[in-house]
Chain A
Amino acid sequence: MLKIKDKIKKALQLFVVFFKIGAFTFGGGYAMIPLIQHEIAENKKWVTEDDILEIIAISESTPGPIAINSATFVGYRVCGFWGSFFATLGVVLPSFLIILAISAVLSEFGDLKPVKYAFNGIRAGVLALLFKALWTMYKKCPKGAVSYIVMAFSFLLTAILDIPVLYVLIGCAVFGLVTSIIVDRRNKT
C-alpha cells in the first residue's frame, strides 16, 4: 500500500496531467491517445505501452467516452479510487470551463447577422465532417453478414419505424450475443 502522503501527491499529479490532456486535445476521443501515451507511459512511466493498448480495447467495449474511460482506468492503476477521481476530474474540467464561457458568448452574439451567416455555411461543413466520421466508423466495423444485417436493421428501424435508439441498441446487443454463441457452438462441433 502506498502511504497517504504519496497517494495525495500521485492523485494531484494525475489531476494535473489529465487536465493538460483535456485542455490540449481537439476532437476528443482517439485524438487523446497519443498524448496519454506520451505523458503517462513515456514521461511518468505510470503504465506501459501495452497497458495503453489495453486501455483502448477496454474503452471500446465499455460505454462512455474514451477520454473518461482512459482517465478513470489509468487513475485506478496508479492509485486506486482517488486516482480515478482526480484523473477524471482533470480531463473533464478544461472542456467544462471552456464550453461554459463559449456558451455565454454564443447566447450573446448568436443573433448577429455575420454569426448567423457563418453558421449557415458551417452547418454544411459539419455535415461533411459527420459524413467522414461515419465512413471511418464503417471502415473500423467488423465485416461479415452479421455486421451488415445489424447495420441495415438499426438504420431502417430508426429511420422508418422511428423506434427509440435505446431499444435498437439493446436489441442489436442481444442479437450480437446470440449469433456469437451460435457461431461458437458450431465451431466446437
Chain B
Amino acid sequence: MIYLELFLTFFKIGLFTFGGGYAMLPLIEEEITANGWMALEQLVNFIAVSESTPGPFAINIATYVGSQVAPIGVFGSACATLGVVMPSFIIILIVAKIYDKFKNSKTVKGVMTGLKPAVVGLIANAIISIAISVFFPVSLVSLSVFKTLQFYVSLAIFGVCTLLAFKKVHPIIIILLSAVVGIATGYLL
C-alpha cells in the first residue's frame, strides 16, 4: 500500500537525518530512485522549487513526493509529511523531559563526532550523482555529450552560479538567473 510505504519511508528519512538543510539529500536520493518514485532530474528540479518557497526542505520534499506518487495526492502528501515529522517530534518530546542528562551525555557527543563528518561524505556522493544527471542527461549517449552545446551551457551556468553562491548571492536570484539562461539558450540553440 503506497500510503503506508510513503509514511514508513519518510519516517526512516526523518529518523536518520542529522543536521539541517541538505543532510537528508543522500537518503532521499537513495529512496526515491530505489522505489522508482521519480527521476533524479525531477528531484533536482524540485530542489529549486523548494529553495524558492518558504519552509524547510524536509517538509517540502515530503509533501511533493507524496503528491506525485500517490493516486490521491493530498493523502500521499499527508502520509509522507507525517512520516518525516514524527521521529523529530517524538524524540524532542523525550529530550525535553530529560534535557539535562541529554545535554551532558558523552554518548550523544561521541555519536555526533561520527555522524557530522559522515553526512559530509554522503552529501558529496549525492552531489556527484546529481552532477552526472545534470551534465550527462539520460537522453544523450555518453561521449557524444561533449559535442552538444547543452553540456557547455550547463557547465557555464554551474561555474558562474558557484561563484555567485560563494559571494553569498541569494539562492532565489541564482535560480532565476539560471532559469533565464536556460530559456534563452533553449530557444536560441
Contacts and interface: CB of A to CB of B under 8 A. Distances in A.
Do the two shown chains form a genuine complex with each other? yes
Nearest to B40: A123
The size bracket of the interface on B is 35 or more
A96 B45 CA distance: 18
A73 B88 CA distance: 10
Contacts of B110: 176-181
B131 to A, nearest CB: 6
A125 B161 contact: yes
B60 A95 contact: yes
B120 interface: yes
Nearest to A72: B92
B2 interface: no
A123 B45 contact: yes
Given A100-B74, A151-B118, A165-B30, A117 B185 contact: yes
Given A84-B92, A118-B182, A120-B186, A150 B121 contact: yes
Contact of A155 (B84, B87, B122): B122
**Interface band, chain A:** 35 or more
A158 B92 contact: no
Contacts of B3: none
Nearest to B113: A176
Interface string A52-86: 00100111111111111100110011000100100
B171 A27 contact: yes
B49 interface: yes
B91 A146 contact: no
Interface of B: 12, 14-27, 30, 41, 44-45, 47-60, 63-64, 67-68, 73-74, 77-78, 81, 84-85, 87-89, 91-93, 95-96, 99, 102-103, 106-125, 127-128, 130-131, 133-134, 150, 153-155, 157-158, 161-162, 164-166, 171-172, 174-175, 177-183, 185-187
